[in-house]
Amino acid sequence: MKLRLANILASVPLAILVLTGCSAGGTSSDSSGWPEEVETNFMEACDGSSEGESEYCRCSLEHLEEKYTADEFAQLEQQLDSDPAALDEMLEVIEPCFDLVSTE
Q: What would the pLDDT profile of 12-50 be if each residue is shown by its tens digit?
A: 544 344 444 444 455 555 556 799 988 998 888 888 888
Q: How many domains does the chain have?
A: 1
The model's confidence at residue 11, banded by pLDDT at 50, 70 and 90, is: low
Q: What is the pLDDT of residues 60-100, one digit of tens each?
A: 999 999 999 988 988 888 888 889 898 889 889 999 998 88
Q: Please give the residue range of the domain that contains residue 26.
A: 2-100
The pLDDT of residue 18 is 40
Rounded to two decimals, what is the model's pTM?
0.73
The 3-class SS string of 13-57 reads CCHHHHHCCHHHCCCECCCCCCEHHHHHHHHHHHHHHCCCCHHHH
The pLDDT of residue 51 is 84
The pLDDT of residue 9 is 60
